[in-house]
Amino acid sequence: MKTKKYGLMMLTFFIAAIYPLSLFTASHDLTAHVSDRTGLLITLLTDSAGSKGFLITLTLLVLSLYRFKPSRTEWLKKLSMLGLLLVIGFASKTGLKLMTESPRPYTELLAAEQLIEHPEAFYQLDTTQQANVIRQISEKVSDWRTRHWQGEKDYSFPSGHTIFVAICLAFFGGLMLQKQCYFSAFMLWSWGVGVAYTRLWLGMHRIEDLIGSVVFVAIVFSLIPAFQITQKMPFISLTAK
């Protein structure tokens, strides 16, 4: 459990940062104009933790472990733990969505525009009908938002993007903190907060979806087998001399 405390610390810092995001996104109008620069930045950030880019992000983070110069046994222990986290996280996400059946926030706008009777009615439509409803709202909503709505028509809770981010923070961020690589940990944390912000900005999730996802990962992370790093690595560190 001692080695896991660093990962849990990263998750605590993450929750502390994403909670205030609700204050900044609560006033966001989903029908507001979006500049191409903003839209592109939001898309790149959110895709880095989504189906289009999470493998690239994961590969880069795994390659960063080479700096630890682990033995074959240590590699197996670390990668087994990471693999277990990912399998449990993604498998549980699908099950939890079906259990909670929480409508995504953007369906509230669809209901307000009288394109559907109520948010839950969106999920009573087939895929073609859902796509057509989103195309109708595209007259008022920027394509930078609706393109994501078209790609994710499932339920809102939990956030798969946030589950992936939380796993990365707990696993990789925990290693960075453990080895006093504070700059690396901060950059990873900043990326995670950025992804969380995009999920709220896009109208894909509510703040409780994000926090619930992080808490879920924290529980899973606490229960699975731990690992130990024995060799010191040259990560960028900001420790005082």
The gap between the terminal CA atoms of the chain, to the nearest Å, is 29
Average of pLDDT values for 21-29?
74
Residue 231 has φ and ψ, to the nearest 5°, of -105, 145
> What pLDDT shows up at residue 225?
74
Please report, for the chain, the start and end positions of each structural domain, with discontinuous segments joined by +. 1-21+75-102+157-241, 103-154
Within 13 Å of residue 234, how many CA atoms lie on the same side as its CB? 0
3-state secondary structure of 239: coil
At 172-203, the pLDDT tens digits run 999 889 888 899 999 999 999 999 999 999 99
Q: Does residue 233 register a pLDDT over 90?
A: no
Residues 206 and 209: their CA atoms lie apart, in Å, by 5
pLDDT band at 99 (very low <50, low <70, confident <90, very high): very high
At 32-69, the pLDDT tens digits run 999 999 999 999 999 999 999 999 999 999 988 877 67
At 76-94, the pLDDT tens digits run 788 888 999 999 999 999 8
Q: Does residue 232 register a pLDDT over 70?
A: no
How many contiguous H segments (helices) and E segments (strands) does the chain have?
12, 0
**Residue type at 163 in one-letter notation:** I
Sequence-distant (6+) residues with CB within 8 A of 155 are 97, 98, 100, 101, 102, 103, 104, 123
Q: Which helix (H) or strand (E) holds 38?
A: helix 36-47
At 101-160, the pLDDT tens digits run 999 999 999 999 999 999 999 999 999 999 999 999 999 999 999 999 999 999 999 999
At 197-208, the pLDDT tens digits run 999 999 999 999
> What pLDDT shows up at residue 146?
96
Q: Does residue 230 register a pLDDT over 50?
A: no
pLDDT band at 240 (very low <50, low <70, confident <90, very high): very low
Residues 130 and 103: their CA atoms lie apart, in Å, by 13
Which residue reads 């099950």 in tokens?
Answer: 95
pTM above 0.75, yes or no: yes
Residues 148 and 44: their CA atoms lie apart, in Å, by 12
Choose between 25 and 235: higher pLDDT: 25
Q: Does residue 236 register a pLDDT over 60?
A: no
Which residue reads 């660093």 in tokens?
Answer: 6
